[in-house]
Structure 1
Amino acid sequence: MRTARRTLALFAALAATTALGTAPTSAAEMPVSDWDRMLAQQPLVRTADTIQAEVLRGGHAGFAGLVLEDDHVALWWKGDVPAAVRDAAARAEAPVEFEAAAHSDAELREAAKVLDARRGAGVHAIKVPADGSGLVLGTTSEAAARGLDAAVDVPVRTVVEEPLVPVSRQNDNPPWKGGATIVLGNAACTSGFAVRNGDNARFLLTAGHCGNPGVRVTDPTGEYIGTAGAKHGDHDIMLVPTGNVVNQQYVGGGDSNSVEVVRGWGDVYTGEYLCQSGVTSARVTGNPVCNIKVLFFYADREDLVEGEQVNGQQAARPGDSGGPVYGPSSSGGVIAKGTVTRTAGARIGFQDFRTASRDFGVYIPL
């Protein structure tokens, strides 16, 4: 197989996976070091936001990716970095280092489409490293990807690993919040975030695999929340229309009533540390699961974000599906980053909030 020009940062130990639905914990209750680490990253996140805004505005073709390093943001770029992007980096809050990428993000995603059309059942993920070095195939065996690298003109690396697969606040009351147990038919999941669309209609965002449009959604006591509405199956996200929601999420143990205000949503970056607060994990651990480091963005149909709990702890559990993935807000409260959808031991797959915003036109009410 072809090798990438730069070594891809891959993790070695990968465990079995399950789809999730979970409940969150509060900043006050989580280990101080975890929260402080995420707060310390905020200048880097804001710097990445500044650069990404220019990339999206200008449609710059050479962009490969952004990575949050310990003390700077690495901007990977193929070819000459445009003056507008350099100006954005110069006025950003944290240091930015420019790194030469072998391939742009757009080139890798075009190559990923070719592989996606040709892959067999043994190739379960196509990942795009932020350094532009090539593609990473998650497979059940080396043989499953044999010959695929010849189909594209970019380096392809194979990693044999288990696939990420789908995985109470026990009695929430209206206004409905994120991080609570919701029951959809025979499935119990976690509410993600309270959202609105351009018509000011109100919804709970959760995982698509929890149910289908038209299913009745209640809390564990049977109190009616709403009827499942729009669903994007490939992205594993779904809206539950309900008139009475509030931009708060539960943060704490399974029976905790602690909540945090959700102060908008933000993009996700490679190297960023986040928390997830699904119901089952909150019950089992008494806290949210934090120290989840973002590793890859998927380029296949599922379009997931993959992270890893860096201490080797279980990243999510059955019942966590749909639950909030979030980071800290510098002004207090939390920032919505995505919703839990899959897990594999210390690995987690979640859908970023930008995708939900694009698919459904929703936002976090302030």
Structure 2
Amino acid sequence: MARQEPLVRAASAVRTVVEQGADDGYAGLEISGDRVLLWWKGAPPPAVTDTARAAGVAVEVRAAEHSREELRAAADRLWRSSGVEHGGQLQAVKIISDGRGLEAAVRPGRKSPLAPLPELGVPVDVVEQEPPTPTSRCDDGVPWYGGLAIRPSGEWGGACGGNENLRYTCTGGFGVHIGSTEYLLTAGHCATVGETLLDGAGQYIGEATLRHAEHDLVLVRTDAADRIWDGVPGVSDFTKPVVGWVWTFPGQSLCYSGATSGANCGYTVVKDEYTKFCYEGRCWSDLIAAKRKGRFSVAGGDSGGPVFSLINNSAWIQAAGTVTGTLQQTDLLGNKTEWVIFQDFGTATRDWPGLDTINYLDPM
């Protein structure tokens, strides 16, 4: 991840300019080897090219067939006509970050009888996949660290770290603030507005006060901290400080930390973004996927946990998002591939203007 630090800073600088309004033609950003790829339909505006030139690393502009705005509009039309929320068979829709089109997912065996899709003016690749499984340390204290075990009052959940006296259903994400008010950010499916959240030992954390259900995000008002839990729950717990947050980009290396599976790294952000993602009647939008081969890690109870990038020789972390769920696949040869599905922190800052991480140091 140290090699990627200057690339992530450069991509974040460009993305910030895009978010500020210089977005006409923008398709996506990607970290590829020693450079940042910027996909754009037409010519990027001067504000973008000036930022790219000043980034200090190679930022290569590549032509995109479609802009992100065009693909998002097409994805919305596709979902309204064929998504499970509207009586259709599509479980998920993704935007490909290089602007070439969309990918839509149906359950295994349902691709052939799929009803004709509407004419969208952009390519749509239909794939078969199992629906995602949502993921849900053990006895923390004030101020609360990200990565701790949490549960709504009245729910019992599983034993945290093997201790039957410490129970949880989800994982806390990051300590954040809007102005002077502090919150714990976690997954929206872990609590509804008005619910009281407890830690694994049953200690009061706070009340869920702000929620964006579609983006699977919720804010719990509490006294939060500038660190997250790392290590194996109940075995080798330790913490790392938070130093700001980053946008996520295809090719970026990320880790997550869950109250069930602990800290796991080696995930690479893939080239597409889920505009819709459904499981058992619950649907979320604008989710990101990061992929790792070799073994499965994400498990029930990890929902809401921090997704992050390592900096400063892995001593510090930068917030990248919160866990929503996982997709896990084993091929005929027994090879395992896992995707951690998460909501990126940048989306949370759009949902709640002024939202920022509680930081150990000012971001670099």
TM-score (norm 1): 0.83
Q: Which has the higher strand share?
A: 2
C-alpha contact 2:188 2:212 (8 A) present in aligned 1: yes
Q: Which has the higher helix share?
A: 1
- 1:143 to partner: Cα distance: 3.5
Query: Helix, strand or coil: the match of 1:213?
Result: coil
The equivalent of 1:298 in structure 2 is 274
Alpha-carbon displacement from aligned partner over 1:159-188 (angstroms, at most 9, x marks no partner):
111122322x21111111101111213241
Alpha-carbon displacement from aligned partner over 1:300-342 (angstroms, at most 9, x marks no partner):
3521111212x23224110001100000134841000100011
- 1:68 to partner: Cα distance: 0.5
Query: Helix, strand or coil: the match of 2:226?
Result: strand
Length, aligned pairs only: 319
C-alpha contact 2:143 2:224 (8 A) present in aligned 1: yes
1:343 aligns with 2:322: no
Alpha-carbon displacement from aligned partner over 1:255-291 (angstroms, at most 9, x marks no partner):
2331111111111111111001001012xxxxx1111
Q: Measured at CA, do residues 88 and 360 of structure 1 come closer, stay the same or move farther in structure 2, by a change above 3 Å?
A: closer
In structure 1, list runs of 5 or more residues that go unmatched. Answer: 1-37, 283-287
User: Quick one: which of 235, 259, 274 aligns to 1:279?
Assistant: 259
The equivalent of 1:364 in structure 2 is 357
User: Quick one: which of 264, 268, 278 aligns to 2:248?
Assistant: 268
1:183 aligns with 2:120: no
Task: Quote the RMSD (CA, aligned, Å).
Answer: 1.7
C-alpha contact 1:315 1:347 (8 A) present in aligned 2: no
- 1:344 to partner: Cα distance: 1.4
Alpha-carbon displacement from aligned partner over 1:104-127 (angstroms, at most 9, x marks no partner):
111101111110110143211111
Q: Measured at CA, do residues 359 and 58 of structure 1 come closer, stay the same or move farther in structure 2, by a change above 3 Å?
A: closer
Sequence identity of aligned pairs in percent?
Answer: 39
AA in 2 matched with 1:326: F
User: Quick one: which of 92, 95, 100 aligns to 1:125?
Assistant: 92
C-alpha contact 1:315 1:343 (8 A) present in aligned 2: no
TM-score (norm 2): 0.83
The equivalent of 1:312 in structure 2 is 294
The equivalent of 2:279 in structure 1 is none
Segments ≥4 residues shifted beyond 4 Å: none
The equivalent of 1:8 in structure 2 is none
In structure 2, list runs of 5 or more residues that go unmatched. Answer: 158-168, 277-283, 329-337, 360-364
Superposed, 1:129-144 pairs within 5 Å as 129-140=96-107, 141-143=110-112
The equivalent of 1:35 in structure 2 is none
C-alpha contact 1:46 1:93 (8 A) present in aligned 2: no
Superposed, 1:197-346 pairs within 5 Å as 197-198=178-179, 200-242=180-222, 244-255=223-234, 256-282=236-262, 288-295=263-270, 296-300=272-276, 301-309=284-292, 311-330=293-312, 332-345=315-328, 346=338
CA distance in 1, matches of 2:46, 2:16: 14
Query: Helix, strand or coil: the match of 1:349?
Result: strand
CA distance in 2, matches of 1:117, 1:174: 44
